Amino acid sequence: MHADPSFPLTSFPLTTIFAFLLVLARVSGAFVFVPVPGFSAGPEPVRIALCLAVTLGVYPLWPVLHSVPDGGTLVGWLIMEVALGLTVGLVVGFLSEAFGFFGQMISLHSGYSFASTIDPNTQADSGLIVILAQSVAGLLFFTLGLHREVIRIFCRSLETHPPGSFTLSAATVEGVFRIGSTIFSTGLRLAFPVIGLLMMADLALALLSRINAQLQLNTLSFPAKTLAMLAVLALLMPVAARVYHDYAARLFEAIPALLGL
C-alpha cells in the first residue's frame, strides 16, 4: 500500500515524515556513485536539491507506515535503505569506471600519462585521457536516457521492497563484486585496438632503426604514437558508444536480479 497521491498541504503526520526520510536515504545513497558529470564537485545545495526533487517525485510510491517505529528500528531501516541505494549507485558507477580504466590503459602506452589536469569530480590531479573518457561516459549516460532507468529502478524497488523490508544478503554483495570484475574486461575491449596499433608502430620503428642505424627515430616515436592514438581514438568513438550501450544493458539487467526486484 502506498501513499495518497494528493500531497498533504495542511499537516504532516509523523509516519509520513519517517517515510520521507527512508525514501530520501535510498535516493541519496545512489547519487553518491551515479556518474552525473560534475555532480561530485557541484555545490552542496544543488546536490541536496536534486536528492529532494527525486524523493518528492516518487511521492505516490512512498510507503504508508501504520505506526511510528522506535529509534533502533528506524536506524536499522535507514542503514538498509542506504545500502540499497549504494548498491544501485555502485553498479551504475561501473559504467564510468570502465571508461576510466580504458583511458588509463591507452594513456600509459601512448605517452599521455605525462599530460595531467584537474579532475572536475574529485579535484585531484588525473590523466588527460582518463578525464576525457569519463566525461564521454557521463555524456553517454544522459544521451542514452540511463538517468530515467535509475529513477525507474527506484520506483520499482519501492513497489517490491518498501522501506523496512530490504535486507542486504551475502549473495547481493558477491554479485556486486562479480559484476565489478566486468570493468576490466570492458575497458580492455576498448583499449586493445589502440594498444595493438601502438605496438605495431613500435615494431615498425624498431625494424627501421635496425635496417638503418643512422636514422634517429627516437625523436619521431613519441609524436608518431601520439598521432596514431588520436586517429584510432576518433575512429573508435562509434564503437565505444555501442560498447557503452551494451555494457549499460547488462548492468541494468543485473540490478533487478541483485536486489530481487
pLDDT for 68 equals: 72
pLDDT for 115 equals: 62
pLDDT for 116 equals: 60
Q: Rounded mean pLDDT of the chain?
A: 78
| pLDDT reading at 78 higher than 50 | yes
Contact 78/19 with Cβ under 8 angstroms?
no
pLDDT digits (tens, 9 = 90+) for 61-71: 887 777 777 77
pLDDT digits (tens, 9 = 90+) for 193-233: 888 888 887 787 777 777 776 666 666 777 777 777 778 88
| pLDDT reading at 14 higher than 60 | yes
Contact 125/119 with Cβ under 8 angstroms?
yes
| pLDDT reading at 8 higher than 70 | no
pLDDT for 141 equals: 86
- Average pLDDT of 244-259? 87
| pLDDT reading at 120 higher than 60 | no
- Average pLDDT of 120-143? 75
Contact 62/158 with Cβ under 8 angstroms?
yes
pLDDT for 1 equals: 47
Q: CB count, 10 Å around CB of 210?
A: 9
pLDDT for 258 equals: 83
Q: How far apart are CA 167 and CA 152, in angstroms?
A: 20
Q: What does the block give as the cell for 36?
A: 552525473
- Average pLDDT of 242-256? 89
Distant-in-sequence, close-in-space partners of 44: CB < 8 Å, separation ≥ 6: none
- Average pLDDT of 78-100? 85
pLDDT for 56 equals: 85
Percentage of residues in the chain with pLDDT exceeding 70? 79
| pLDDT reading at 173 higher than 80 | yes
pLDDT for 147 equals: 84
